[in-house]
């Protein structure tokens, strides 16, 4: 069982941080947020996947399972490093403060990172050059394929790799060698950006650790079809001769959608992965554990059985459950990496087999309070919680708690909440926060939107919606919102404050 003391934290993706360049980044705003977490008794910062996003801007459909999102690189920190001048940033346009406009910020950030690359190549930076070389050596497994993949995408006007010339699509050795030579400068630029991201994130992680803040990362079980991973490891995916998926991932009809969710990710050839000892997965998890302290595996149930949809189907309705790799997968990961600091996202259609797989490896599961209010046997109600789980008011896929209460549920749910608690509900946000905080679960987490008492317009993602997701940001003044005081109070009241945990540990040690 992984070591998780009684504690609490906040779910917030870095893109939602405040800052002057249109998107949250790994600079001053991130450090101030860490300080805010510490000051208000929190010891966990949970983020969404950190990879480079593509069409749709979803962090769950990235161009690489290993690379970082270069839009998160702090331009101000590059000034401190001497890779940009303050004057280089004087032309920052009036980006919107309360949301991310990806179409506006991406070209701006790309321009500034290109300037930083030019300055790095032309300037005298011996210390930075040594660090850069060390990074290249340490990340060779994935970095070379990714950098070439991105360089080729830019050459092909960002078209998916299945639309490239057949020799590049099929990675013929002569074509790959020639492309690497022809695009050498572009490839170097991509390596440089990944170094900057990892350098800044590693520094932020160290700072968070010094403040007692643990980072919870997020690992989607499936990867995007248009990614360096699928292009470089085609034999490990269910693809046809042209590289297109034959079957794809998703989930059947559920709470979120009457036609299910057709994610479109190619499915793994688990037999092939098993035969090579799950080497790609071992590298993937090891790489992420360099960036975070714990990993939430999104769609954990897919390791026991996954919903297979023929790629020709327009919805997820006509699919079938197919057995996943099961215990053999986690045994291989555990053998290679030791104790598994993994949290199982065990939401949706959960069977006894999924629960057994989770419990056999003592992985904490998830309880979402917004899903709790059907009947007394509901496993998400606090009296049914186990110690080894993580409780949320809601996740990135849920409405905010206020938006949920006001727009998604009616009198029946309102009455059940009132009956369960034995009192009227005057503020649903802090009502659910108290319910979660006093749960026996080891960890309680709430999205920052709930701390700020925000409504539906602050929702991060609506599953199945094609637009309007992943854009929410808060402004600097939000961190003075009185919700911070309520958060600190109930954190202490229900003994989740790190000072109280340290006291408990000392008492147990002296017993």
Catalytic residues: 298, 345, 397
Which candidate, 44, 343, 443, 15, places its Cα nearest to that of 211?
A: 44
Q: Can you tell me the distance from the alpha carbon of 376 to that of 425, in angstroms, rounded to the nearest whole number?
A: 18
Phi, psi of 355, deg, nearest 5: -65, -40
Of residues 187, 205, 177, the one with CA closest to residue 136:
187
**Sign of the torsion angle spanned by Cα atoms 403, 409, 412, 416:** negative
Edge-to-edge strand list for the sheet holding 443-447: 342-344, 294-298, 214-220, 44-46, 7-11, 443-447, 389-392, 365-368
Residue among 131, 138, 121, 108 at smallest CA distance from 19: 108
Tell me which DSSP letter residue 14 carries: G
DSSP 61-118: SBS-SS---GGGS-HHHHHHTTSS-GGGGTT-----SSB--HHHHHHHHHHHHHHHHH
Kindly give, in sequence order, each residue whose CB lies less than 8 Å from that of residue 299, ignoring residues fewer than 6 positions away: 220, 221, 222, 251, 306, 345, 348
Q: Which residues of 462-489 are buried (b: 16+ CB within 10 A; e: fewer)?
A: eeeeeeebbbbbbeeebbebebbebbee
Q: Which of 150, 313, 155, 312 is nearest to 231 (CA)?
A: 150
Is the separation of the CB atoms in 95 and 101 below 8 Å?
yes
Residues 220-255 as b or e (16 or more Cβ within 10 Å = b): bbbbbbbbbbbbbbbebbbbeeebebebbbbbbeee
CB 472 within 8 A of CB 99: yes
Separation CA 296–CA 45 (nearest Å): 12
Neighbours of 130 (CB within 10 A): 10
Q: DSSP secondary-structure letter at 472?
A: B
Distance of CA 103 to the CA centre of its chain: 21
Residues in the chain: 511
């Amino acid at each position: 069982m992984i070591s998780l003391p009684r504690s609490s934290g906040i779910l917030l993706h870095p893109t939602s941080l405040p800052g002057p360049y249109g998107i949250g980044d790994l600079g001053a705003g991130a450090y101030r947020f860490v300080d805010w977490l510490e000051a208000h008794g929190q010891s966990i910062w949970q983020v969404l996947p950190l990879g480079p996003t593509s069409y749709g801007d979803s962090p769950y459909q990235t161009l690489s399972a290993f690379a970082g999102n270069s839009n998160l690189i702090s331009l101000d920190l590059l000034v401190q490093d001497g890779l940009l001048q303050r004057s280089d940033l004087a032309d920052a346009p009036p980006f919107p403060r309360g949301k991310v406009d990806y179409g506006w910020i991406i070209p701006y950030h790309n321009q500034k990172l290109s300037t930083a690359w030019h300055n790095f190549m032309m300037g005298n930076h011996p210390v930075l050059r040594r660090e850069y070389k060390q990074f290249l050596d340490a990340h060779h497994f994935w970095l070379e394929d990714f950098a070439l993949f991105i360089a080729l995408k830019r050459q092909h006007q960002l078209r998916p790799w299945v639309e490239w010339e057949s020799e590049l699509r099929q990675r013929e050795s002569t074509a790959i060698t020639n492309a690497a030579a022809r695009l050498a400068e572009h490839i170097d630029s991509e390596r440089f950006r990944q170094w900057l991201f990892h350098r800044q994130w590693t520094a932020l992680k160290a700072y968070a650790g010094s403040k007692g803040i643990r980072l919870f990362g997020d690992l989607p079980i499936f990867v995007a079809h248009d990614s360096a991973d699928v292009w470089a490891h085609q034999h490990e995916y269910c693809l046809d001769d042209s590289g297109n998926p034959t079957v794809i991932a998703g989930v059947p009809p559920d709470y979120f959608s009457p036609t299910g969710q057709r994610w479109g990710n190619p499915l793994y050839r688990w037999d092939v992965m098993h035969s090579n000892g799950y080497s790609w997965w071992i590298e993937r998890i090891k790489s992420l554990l360099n960036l975070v302290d714990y990993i939430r595996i999104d769609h954990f149930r897919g390791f026991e059985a996954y919903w297979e949809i023929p790629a020709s189907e327009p919805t997820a309705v006509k699919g079938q459950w197919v057995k996943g790799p099961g215990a053999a997968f986690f045994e291989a990961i555990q053998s290679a990496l030791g104790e598994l600091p993994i949290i199982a996202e065990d939401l949706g259609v959960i069977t006894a087999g999924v629960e057994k797989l989770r419990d056999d490896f003592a992985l904490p599961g998830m309880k979402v309070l917004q899903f709790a209010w059907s009947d007394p046997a509901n496993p998400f109600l606090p009296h049914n919680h186990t110690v080894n789980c993580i409780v949320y008011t809601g996740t990135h896929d849920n409405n905010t708690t206020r938006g949920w209460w006001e727009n998604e549920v009616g009198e029946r749910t309102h009455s059940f909440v009132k009956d369960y608690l034995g009192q009227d509900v005057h503020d649903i946000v802090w009502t659910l926060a108290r319910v979660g905080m006093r749960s026996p679960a080891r960890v309680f987490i709430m999205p920052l939107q709930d701390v700020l008492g925000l409504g539906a317009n602050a929702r991060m993602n609506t599953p199945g919606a094609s637009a309007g997701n992943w854009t929410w940001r808060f402004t600097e003044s939000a961190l003075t919102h009185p919700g911070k005081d309520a958060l600190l109070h109930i954190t202490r009241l229900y003994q989740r404050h790190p000072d109280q945990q340290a006291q408990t540990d000392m008492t147990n040690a002296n017993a």
